[in-house]
Amino acid sequence: MEISRDAYRAIEDIVGPEFITDDPAFLDSYAFEWLAELVRPNRSHYMPRPWAVVMPASTAEVQGVTRVCNKYGIKIKPISTGWYHWAAPMKDNDPTIQLDLRRMNRILDIDEKNRFAIVEPYVICAQLQAEVMKLGLNINIIGAGSSTSIVASACAYFGGGPNSYSMGNNSDNLLGQEWVTPAGEIIRTGSLSSGCGWFCSEGPGPSVRGITRGVLGSRGGLGTYTKCAIKLNHWPGQKVLEPKGPPPGYRLEIPENFRVYTIGAPDWDAWVNCYHAIYDNGIGYVFHRQFNLAGADLAAALWLTYIDPKKTLNDVETASKDPAIQKVAEEGRISFQLILAGNSMESIKLQDKVLDAILAQTGCYKVARFCEPDMAEFTNMYMQRLGHKHCNFIWVGGYMGSWMQAGTPDYVRNYIPTAIKGFERDQKSHLLVECGGDATMGCGSTIGGGGYFGLEQFVSYDPNDNDSIDACIKHMEDAIKDAISVGVPAGKEALYLQIGWSDERIWDALSKIPQQFILNFQTKIKDAFDPNYLGDRNYQWIPPGWGQKADAK
Amino acid sequence: MGMNSKKEELMGIVGQGNVSDDPACLNGYAQDQSFALPIKPWFVARPQTAEQVQELVKWANATATPLVPVSSGAPHFNGDTVPSATEAVIVDLSGMNKILKIDHRNKIVIVEPGVTYAELQPALEKAGLRITQPLLPRANKSVIASLLERQPTMIPRLNYSLPEPLRVCGVVWGSGEYSFTGEGGMGPRSLEDQWKIGLAQVNQQGPLATDLVRLVTGAQGTMGIVVWASIKCELLPAARKCFVVKAAQLEELVDFCYRLERLRIGDEVMILNRRQLRAVIGKTNGCGCGCGGADWTVVIGLAGRALYPQEKVDVQEHELQALVKEFGLQALDAPPEVAASLLAVSGETYWKVASKGACQEIFFLTTLDKAPRFVKTVEQVAARFEYPASDIGIYIQPQHHGVSQHVEFSLPYNPADKREVEKVKAIYTAASEELVAQGAYFSRPYGAWADLVYSRDATSSRVLRTVKQIVDPNQILNPGKLCF
């Protein structure tokens, strides 16, 4: 892994000596990644250590560093806020620079009238939201929460969140973007490329953004995104999200033109029908199934304990045995959160009336305890800012999301019983958190206007207990088989496991995708924009002819 | 290969009756209403299936024959269907006109490229659905062609991205390969097989790390031939009401429209000048368009669907009335013919050519605050050539939740009057150059605009040529267009 000191010196000359390091202590802090233990030898919490960490301050510096990497054959892995183990370098003995973009943290412009903001990659959702809310505007915060980079979700990774139903997925909210390719070229897209401003992501002619955006983006595998413009949406609420009450269950007052509900369903068919009716009636500002991440058996006990300032997590077990809380758990077993917002009082009253009619039609109902002011205000804060992502890890410090195959509500409904049974089965090892078979959560729709989403099964495991890690891996392998048994492709668990696979194993898997056109296309794009193959396989590609090789085996 | 051999091979692919070299037929494709250089194609081939399209493209690769895909009926306007290369074959997709599926539950319709607005909307209406459409499209306009060309649609609140409501496509690429875009790209390459496993072609994103659909939109048929597409529908409104808000100056409407679009009040929202409003309702002479003498009109269509539709319209009406008051404006009931135009397709004579027989358009994207300046630019250029400002139709269509605006100028002229033709041609050239220089974004660079746009945007040209080389390595699809 010894690289010429010349390369180090050349990069140092660009960013300055204080913004490059190969100190192992620093490098390991980048290698330490959530989910690493599921794919690394010896259940290590560490992904491969980067060769150096570099912190550029501008697009020009990113370009300069990229050019040096091309000269010396060093791989490049950009990271802004990071999420999952694939934010780290992929391979041992494959010298990789971790390009940490945290110095590029400016909101460059907020165009209030035309409703877009221009941001650098380390601007996080909470930061931008706080600024635009002062102007009565809001952003779509992705499911991974308010501490995530806007540029990452808009340009390079999944862009869906609780607001995507009303505001659109961030891939659709993306306007102009600036991209430093692995070859070191700066490419700007849409109206920006024509020198006409940041307001449009399409054209001129076909849209260049089409080669890298996709469903999950290139995840740092094909260059570095250094700026983007994001569409802003109307916010009819407070100018400042003033937290109320003691920690950790902060609450947010509910303005008179808002309603905050947790809706329960008697069965999955009613749940699906309710989703369709919400889409058809166009009501709702936030639409998400959030609280069930704690598991259907324990969610009520957890959240009602969480918001009680006199209690701690140690009280959850007792609470879970309380008949009153057990009743809430049953009411909320199949549930989701829905926040209505009106431009006027008339509007919010009508939305309420429509929702009541939908509930009457579908047999769904409001989960009464979760709609009481304390819990509703907590829900409001949780969902409007999505600042509670630490709760994802609340049970034992680690979780892995399986399933989440996306499709129509009926498509999801088809696999949910299998996902539940499978998790129930795997919990019998007593090595995973036993929270009930259903810990599925996800957006009401990941695309604007509704109609498309997946549910992610939150599997909580202890990342410091090898047996628990093994149980989680077993669950992942089981979930893949379970998915195939109901005719759906493997879910997120496969994506996680693949990080630990060899290239050859990944190519074998990719070669089984029924339509190979896309892989051939991406391989040629890779050749064109990353001729030295400095990006990693998060932008998928396959050697020419590999499919035939796999078929011959 | 000679013409006769080519004809025989074409007939072998699409059938004897589906190949034409009749001079009258070929002349119909040799030019359109634009100022594109007329070039006569050698043949018109009319495939009936996706398989035939794929065979046709493979044959074109083998014989180095340019193909020009055409789905809509005449008149054509932008030069994109006029061959830029000699010896071309027009691929007339109008015979592929099946509505493959109406999926009411998921609000998706899947159509072939020959399905027109005049055919689709009544079929959807029977199912209680509709799609958001462009303003008064030609009855024979292909729905797929319109969406692929990113023609603006009228309901900005439903426009989550510019390609909306287009979702998933089946594409025969220039290489002859056939694949699906979006979520369809990861499943089996058969719609029936995808339906069997519950896929509904809803999501335009993908497959993998690409959005292939975005490479065929705005492409003028240069990347691939779309053989089917899924389109997002909406429930047919059960209650509607239409309003107009008028002003003497466009500037007076800008802040109001910003607020209206931000609050997403209403379905259809657009701004028309007096000339264009008259044209929309078919009044070629006099006024009588409900503009009340005002030069500018915002048309706002309110709609209610599903539960309590009338109450939904009432609430929106109250919000609209409060809003206009805030801006010192008035919202008046729209004349019935204006309201009707929001749901209709054009009559037999396309409304844009009704007054003088021909019409040259200039259109681009911008933000609303810049629109008045661009209007002045075009009026000044027209004045230089003594073309009356009152003859210029202007249409501003908010897109993408109102973040971008399609601004369109219509310059009607008499095609039999050579002086008038030359005058409009000169205005088109001069105004386009000035608008580009001032920052108007020609996102759909047809004809002469392509050079204007790509000569200023070397990066887009280079990247698009790279993509073109991948999907159409022999450059057989509509060569000479865009930057290819």
A26 and A140 part of one domain: no
> How many CA atoms, within 13 angstroms, populate the side-chain half-sphere of residue A295?
23
Residue B468 lies in a domain: no
A403 and A381 part of one domain: no
pLDDT averaged over every residue in chain A: 96
pLDDT level of residue A551 (50, 70, 90 thresholds): very low
B12 and B80 part of one domain: yes
B227 and B246 part of one domain: no
Residue A434 lies in a domain: yes
Residue B199 lies in a domain: yes
pLDDT at A553: 44
* Cβ <8 Å between A276 and B105: yes
Question: Is residue B289 scored above 80 in pLDDT?
Answer: no
Question: Is residue B240 scored above 80 in pLDDT?
Answer: yes
For residues B419-423, give the mean pLDDT: 97
Nearest neighbour of A447 by CB, restricted to B203, B311, B450:
B203
Give the number of other Cβ atoms within 10 Å of residue B48's Cβ: 17
Residues from chain A contacting residue B237 (CB–CB below 8 Å): none
B111 and B82 part of one domain: no
User: How long a stretch of residues is chain A?
Assistant: 553
pLDDT averaged over every residue in chain B: 96
B103 and B226 part of one domain: yes
Domain total of chain A: 5
Residue B347 lies in a domain: no
B322 and B385 part of one domain: no
Residue A250 lies in a domain: no
What DSSP character marks residue A43? G
Domain finish residue from B307, B341, B375: B341
Domain finish residue from A394, A415, A447: A394
A311 and A223 part of one domain: no
**CB proximity B438 to A under 8 Å:** no
A265 and A329 part of one domain: yes
pLDDT at B294: 79
Residue B22 lies in a domain: yes
Angle at A34 between CA A31 and CA A35, to 5 degrees: 105
Residue A449 lies in a domain: no
What DSSP character marks residue A192? G
Percent of chain B with pLDDT over 90: 96
Tens-digit pLDDT profile for residues B167-219: 999 999 999 999 999 999 999 999 999 999 999 999 999 999 999 999 999 99
Give the number of other Cβ atoms within 10 Å of residue B181's Cβ: 32
Residue B472 lies in a domain: no
B188 and B210 part of one domain: yes
For residues B370-387, give the mean pLDDT: 98
What DSSP character marks residue A87? G
Question: Is residue B305 scored above 60 in pLDDT?
Answer: yes
pLDDT at A318: 97
Task: Residue window 421-440, chain A: list those with CB within 8 Å of chain B.
Answer: none
Q: Determine the Cα–Cα distance for residues A441 and A481; give it in Å rounded to an integer.
A: 21
Nearest neighbour of B445 by CB, restricted to A188, A204, A411:
A204
Residue A156 lies in a domain: yes
pLDDT at B291: 64
Residue A89 lies in a domain: yes
A138 and A209 part of one domain: yes
Question: Which range of residues forms the domain containing residue A45?
Answer: 5-100
Residues from chain B contacting residue A188 (CB–CB below 8 Å): 459
A259 and A389 part of one domain: yes
Residues from chain B contacting residue A172 (CB–CB below 8 Å): 160-161
Tens-digit pLDDT profile for residues B48-73: 999 999 999 999 999 999 999 999 99
pLDDT level of residue A545 (50, 70, 90 thresholds): confident
CATH code of B426's domain: 3.30.70.380
B108 and B217 part of one domain: yes
A33 and A141 part of one domain: no
Question: Is residue A552 scored above 60 in pLDDT?
Answer: no
Question: Are the C-beta atoms of A126 and A142 separated by less than 8 Å?
Answer: no
Residue A448 lies in a domain: no
Residue B462 lies in a domain: no
Q: Can you give chain B as a three-state secondary structure string? A: CCHHHHHHHHHHHHCHHHEECCHHHHHHHHCCCCCCCCCCCCEEECCCCHHHHHHHHHHHHHHCCCEEEECCCCCCCCCCCCCCCCCCEEEECCCCCCEEEEECCCCEEEECCCCEHHHHHHHHHHCCEECCCCCCCCCCCEHHHHHHCCCCCCCHHHCCCCCCCEEEEEEEECCCCEEECHHHHHCCCCHHHHHHCCCCCCCCCECCCCECHHHHCCCCCCCEEEEEEEEECEECCCEEEEEEEEECCCHHHHHHHHHHHHHCCCCCEEEEEHHHHHHHCCCCCCCCCCCCCCCEEEEEEEEECCCCHHHHHHHHHHHHHHHHHHCCCCEEECCHHHHHHCCCCCCCCCCCCCCCCEEEEEEEEECHHHHHHHHHHHHHHHHHCCCCHHHCEEEEEEEHHHCEEEEEEEEEECCCCHHHHHHHHHHHHHHHHHHHHHCCECCCCCCCHHHHHHCCCHHHHHHHHHHHHHHCCCCCECCCCCCC
Residue B351 lies in a domain: no
What would the two tokens of residue B295 be? 């030069």
Q: Determine the Cα–Cα distance for residues A155 and A217; give it in Å rounded to an integer.
A: 7
Label the pairing between strands B224-232 and B108-111: antiparallel
A399 and A486 part of one domain: yes
pLDDT level of residue B283 (50, 70, 90 thresholds): confident
Residue B168 lies in a domain: yes
A200 and A278 part of one domain: no
Residue A452 lies in a domain: no
A41 and A75 part of one domain: yes
A264 and A390 part of one domain: yes
Question: Which range of residues forms the domain containing residue B31?
Answer: 3-92
For residues A223-233, give the mean pLDDT: 98
Question: Is residue B285 scored above 70 in pLDDT?
Answer: no
* Cβ <8 Å between A280 and B306: yes
Nearest neighbour of B315 by CB, restricted to A212, A347, A519:
A347
For residues A160-170, give the mean pLDDT: 97
Tens-digit pLDDT profile for residues A452-476: 999 999 999 999 999 999 999 999 9
Residues from chain A contacting residue B406 (CB–CB below 8 Å): none
**CB proximity B440 to A under 8 Å:** yes
Domain finish residue from A100, A118, A143: A100
pLDDT at B412: 97
| Amino acid letter, B300 | I
pLDDT at A1: 46
B207 and B138 part of one domain: yes
Going through B9-107 in order, the beta strands assigned E by DSSP cover: 19-20, 43-45, 67-70, 89-92, 99-103
B260 and B142 part of one domain: no
pLDDT level of residue B251 (50, 70, 90 thresholds): very high
Question: Is residue B423 scored above 70 in pLDDT?
Answer: yes
B231 and B246 part of one domain: no
Question: Is residue B284 scored above 90 in pLDDT?
Answer: no
B266 and B371 part of one domain: no
Domain total of chain B: 4
B226 and B249 part of one domain: no
Name the minimum distance, in Å, from the CA of A385 to any CA of chain B. Answer: 21
